[in-house]
């Protein structure tokens, strides 16, 4: 599957190079595979916000269409990776604690509904 993905990206890049000869939006087609292939170096560059800003400004100066498309592609890929990792955005609302249940007869915490930590049964109905 990785080989198929790489081949598809290569085809999109080649198509973008062919279209860029006649139309300016062909550069946009070349930006998407470029960002996907260079995601790890771009991620390292984005550790420092000043170097990242310098990179994007230089790219914007050289070719504004490529820079805007690459920046949008990098943003969406970065958001996709964060979504895949399931990183919560608000830690206080995502970590809800379950209420502690204390066995009134022993005063110990209960592991589940019927046993406390010491293993004593509680709440069983004798039929």
Query: What pLDDT does residue 46 have?
Result: 87
Is residue 109 in some structural domain?
A: no
Is residue 52 in some structural domain?
A: yes
Is residue 21 in some structural domain?
A: yes
Q: What is the pLDDT of residues 79-116, one digit of tens each?
A: 888 777 775 556 555 556 666 667 676 676 666 666 65
How much of the chain is in helix, strand and coil states, percent to nearest 5? 60, 5, 35
- The whole-model pTM stands at 0.55
Q: How many domains does the chain have?
A: 1
Q: What is the pLDDT of residues 9-45, one digit of tens each?
A: 999 999 999 998 888 888 888 888 888 888 888 889 8
Q: In which domain, by residue range, is 72 found?
A: 2-87
């Amino acid at each position: 599957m990785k080989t198929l993905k790489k081949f598809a990206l290569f085809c999109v890049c080649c198509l973008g190079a062919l279209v860029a000869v006649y139309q300016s939006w062909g550069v946009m087609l070349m930006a998407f595979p470029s960002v996907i292939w260079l995601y790890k170096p771009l991620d390292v560059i984005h550790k420092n916000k000043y170097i990242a800003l310098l990179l994007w400004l230089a790219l914007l100066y050289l070719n504004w269409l490529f820079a805007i498309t690459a920046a949008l592609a990098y943003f969406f890929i970065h958001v996709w990776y964060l979504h895949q990792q399931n990183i919560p955005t608000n830690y206080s609302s995502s970590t809800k604690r379950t209420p502690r249940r204390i066995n009134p007869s022993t005063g110990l915490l209960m592991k589940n509904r019927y046993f406390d930590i010491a293993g004593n049964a509680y709440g069983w109905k004798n039929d």
